[in-house]
Amino acid sequence: MATLEAPVRPRTTLHHGQFVNEPFFDFRKEENVRKMRSAIAKVRGQLGREYDLIIGGQRVKTTDKIKSLNPAKPSDIVGIHQKAGKEHVEPAMTAALKAFESWSRTSVEERASLLFRAADLLRERKMEFMAWLVFEVSKNWVEADADISETIDFCEFYGREALRFAKVQPPTQLPGERDSLFYIPLGVGAVIPPWNFPCAIMAGMTLASVVSGNTVILKPSSDSPTIAAKLVELLEELGMPEGVVNFCPGAGASFGDAVVAHPKTRYIAFTGSREVGLRINQVAAQQAPGQMWIKRTVLEMGGKDAIIVDADSDIDSAVEGVAQAAFGFQGQKCSACSRAIVDERVYDKFLEQLKARVEKITVGDPAENANMGAVINEGSMKSILGYIEQGKKDGRLITGGERATEAGEGYFIRPTVIADIQPKSKLEQEEIFGPVLAVIKARGFDHAMQIANDTEFGLTGAIYTSSREKIERAIQEFHVGNLYINRKCTGAMVGAHPFGGFNMSGTDSKSGGPDYLYLFTQAKSVGERVS
């Protein structure tokens, strides 16, 4: 495994060739297990360190601190961070505006090179970055691997996309003119990522901004600032100029709101809850004194995702897909399956097999690679347990339904399946963001589609069926941004599955897709008369 002292590559390195997704580790191989345990031991020795704000390259300390805790063992402090307040907004904006003057004019080749070199360094330190996720957000090894692999994918994909954008030509050349089209950066962006994909989503929104020529005020989640600090350190090591990314963990209600409302903020890239996303949209829509543009919002706001299990489906495959999509990373994915809508003809058989499958899921310390770790914090745990109690009243508890106290002091909840949940009920409509699956009986395919679409969200969905006709109908009628056929509704891959949802799931930003960088640029058309 590579060391932290890996040599820094020349600043002009560019990658060529087709984009290929980063491969995952095979933890059936003893060598990979040994390396991962070594990385975990190394990172364990670095827990509890203090990290500064980084504003214009300067390290800043504050009186108030943010303590990032290990959800599986809350007595362990992962990192201590400075807490940015309203007084830090202006310095951060000034630094970002100053950096924008030169960074926006830096060649796209050099900006893309930064991303490609970041990908190389992340590969060398991949297991270390994975280990930080194990401790900070309680991801098991496979989930941590997926997160860092996606981070590498974003580096490689957006670097290539930026180079492609730089070569775009207008569709028509008028006689006697030289016509051209340029995608130019917007300005200073506020990047506000979530804790559930604390490296991939944080890095994706930040790097899409940076490679497009923008500068960033980065406000990571207070539950996961350490992994963000590690990525910013890596970018600095690679020679990213001061002020291009300003690292400012802080409270959403003070620092976050003030950045969103600032007249010089050009756009806001946000992933998180519907409530916060709508609030950002509302604040951004109001013109502040001195504001010269309409602020752009790139919002991804969660889901209430369903998997339809048709009567003619492969039940074994459907059970496996639902179990993985519902309980991977403790159900804390906006793409997670929180509703299984099952045809009444196979309902009992499905529940019987699902119960047996879910009861094989191990709950425990992700450092030991249990199937499920802890949920993110105490408040989340209490909220999830409240939903479970409501579900016990509204439906029939199949398995789970309580804390997994034997797993340790952390915020562990057993994977929970509640059957006979009725459409329009609380468990069927509200995003729980935890290891809770509501199972709903459908009278047939038409009824299943009606239930699936009867929510204000529209992020992911899946259908298990052997009927080509029903597959075609789902493609036409299942109103989600990411639809999967005969596979689980989680695990979108950069390039193959551009990701983003409809309705209250956000602005359908389609991260990891061919039009994502449009959101961080503006098109300038130039027509020059030639003699």
Catalytic residues: 300, 334
| CB-CB neighbours of 15 under 10 Å | 17
C-alpha to C-alpha distance for 475 and 381, rounded to whole angstroms? 36
Look at residues 60, 65, 61, 66 and name the one whose alpha carbon lies nearest to residue 94.
Answer: 60
| CB-CB neighbours of 416 under 10 Å | 27
| HEC secondary structure over 225-256 | HHHHHHHHHHHHHCCCCCCCEEECCECHHHHH
Tokens of 19: 């984009």
Residue type, 427: L
Burial 308-329 (b: 16+ CB within 10 A, else e): bbbbebebeebbbbbbbbbbbb
Degrees, nearest 5: CA angle 80-81-82: 135
Backbone phi, psi, residue 403, to 5°: -65, 150
Look at residues 223, 211, 153, 212 and name the one whose alpha carbon lies nearest to residue 183.
Answer: 212
Cα maximum dimension of the chain = 81
Is the sign of the CA dihedral 165, 168, 170, 174 positive or negative?
positive
Distances (CA, A) of 124 to 7, 101, 102, 120: 10, 33, 30, 7
371 Cβ contact partners less than 8 Å away, ≥ 6 residues apart: 140, 327, 361, 362, 363
C-alpha to C-alpha distance for 365 and 433, rounded to whole angstroms? 20
Distances (CA, A) of 48 to 4, 71, 195, 365: 19, 14, 18, 18
Tokens of 370: 């249990």
DSSP 8-state assignment for residue 418: E
Backbone phi, psi, residue 75, to 5°: -75, -15
Strand spans (E) along 241-336: 245-247, 265-271, 296-300, 305-309
Q: Do residues 523 and 171 lie in contact, with contact meaning Cβ atoms separated by under 8 Å?
A: no
Classified as helix, coil or strand, 298 is strand
Classified as helix, coil or strand, 385 is helix
Classified as helix, coil or strand, 493 is coil
